[in-house]
């Protein structure tokens, strides 16, 4: 049996769901995961560690904006001995954003 609270919550969700926002969030999530995989490979992480790192980057993206992701990747890469500029990381993020858009548009 559905409670009144559940019914109200479902109605609120139905009226406030925005497919454009959902798509945007999906693209950003995919981009962040791809960025984590890219950076992890540059840092020569093993597959098990690479998956964990990509998930960590993905999760940190849900709590902060793109600039924080760029900062994290730049810091982690340089700490691991991969000399890369912040601008290069930002450029790669743009490329990965386009990749994520293409990947998600192919799933419709």
Tokens describing residue 6: 């559940």
Tokens 């925005």: give the residue.
18
Mean pLDDT of 86-103: 94
pTM: 0.75
CB atoms within 10 A of CB 55: 13
The proportion of the chain whose per-residue pLDDT surpasses 70, expressed as a percent, equals 74
What structural domains and CATH numbers belong to the chain?
A: 23-105 (1.10.790)
Residues 4-55 have pLDDT tens digits of: 554 444 544 444 444 455 688 889 999 999 999 999 999 999 998 999 999 9
Q: What is the pLDDT of residue 12?
A: 43
């Amino acid at each position: 049996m559905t409670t009144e609270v559940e019914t109200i919550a479902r109605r609120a969700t139905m009226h406030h769901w925005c497919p454009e926002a959902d798509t945007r969030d999906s693209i950003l999530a995919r981009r962040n995961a791809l960025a984590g995989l890219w950076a992890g490979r540059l840092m020569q992480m093993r597959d098990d560690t690479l998956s964990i790192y990509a998930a960590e980057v993905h999760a940190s993206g849900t709590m902060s904006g793109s600039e924080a992701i760029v900062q994290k990747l730049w810091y982690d890469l340089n700490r691991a001995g991969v000399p890369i500029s912040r601008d290069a990381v930002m450029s790669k993020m743009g490329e990965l954003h386009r990749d994520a858009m293409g990947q998600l548009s192919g799933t419709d």
